[in-house]
Amino acid sequence: MSSQTGSGVGVIDKASAVLAALEAGPASLAELVALTGLARPTAHRLAVALEYHRFVGRDLQGRFILGPRLSELSSAAGEDRLLAAAGPILAQLRDRTGESAQLFRRQGDLRLCVAAVERPVGLRDSVPVGATLSMRAGSAAQVLLAWEEPDRLHTGLRGARFSATMLSGVRRRGWAQSIAERERGVASVSAPVRGPSNRVVAAVSISGPVDRLTRQPGRLHAQSVVEAGRALTEALTRA
């Protein structure tokens, strides 16, 4: 690799070369060596280090591929666009359903409320912006986990109040519901928000008392929540 075209920080330049090679598709170690011009031990060491940090992954044949961390960073870069669109879309969702509405993003083993609008009067479920809730319960947690890669999905199910079968249903329907799963007396409905790569980057939700939402809240409000998720997806993926 020519120093004239590099940044002057050799390890960064070499790691960048590995990622650039994988942009074209899966590659074996031998193919990485050929594509990057790096020595075999160097290419292997860098690919394994990038895999540790999830910038690189492996396919079913064991070949190196671009990893999920890149999509996560891309999603974070689109955060401003998502939040700018969230206010009016959540307000419309609240007005259509009569329930408080929220937008959640995953943050490790928790989910973070990044936007919210509350039902103005009466009994409501209040989730303030900045609140962190469990990834082990609630319809938003189901949505944020349901489309994860198999290994992360399996790990996320440990100790969860929902099952793999329930998440299969979430993927099939395109929305999730929970009844007193996160908190006694509270029900919710959630739908996915997808980024440019079609990866689920957020969950849009409504929540309120079970007495009002009933024990089948999805029957009442799934369509409205799914439509809000689609509107947010369009705002995030619009060129």
Per DSSP, which regions of the chain are E strands? 56-58, 64-66, 100-107, 110-117, 132-134, 176-179, 186-194, 200-209
Q: What is the mean pLDDT of the chain?
A: 90
pLDDT at 123: 74
Rounded to 5 degrees, what are φ and ψ at 179? -130, 110
Q: Is the pLDDT of residue 1 over 50?
A: no
DSSP line for 104-128 = EEEETTEEEEEEEE--SSSS-----
For the whole prediction, is pTM greater than 0.75? no
CA quadruple 100, 169, 192, 148: dihedral sign: positive
State the pLDDT at residue 115. Answer: 94
Instruction: Walk me through the domains of the chain, giving residue ranges and CATH numbers.
Output: 8-73 (1.10.10.10), 78-236 (3.30.450.40)
Q: Are 18 and 36 in contact (CB under 8 A)?
A: yes
- Section 61-79 average pLDDT: 78
Confidence of residue 75 (pLDDT cuts 50, 70, 90): low
Local structure of 224: helix, strand or coil: helix
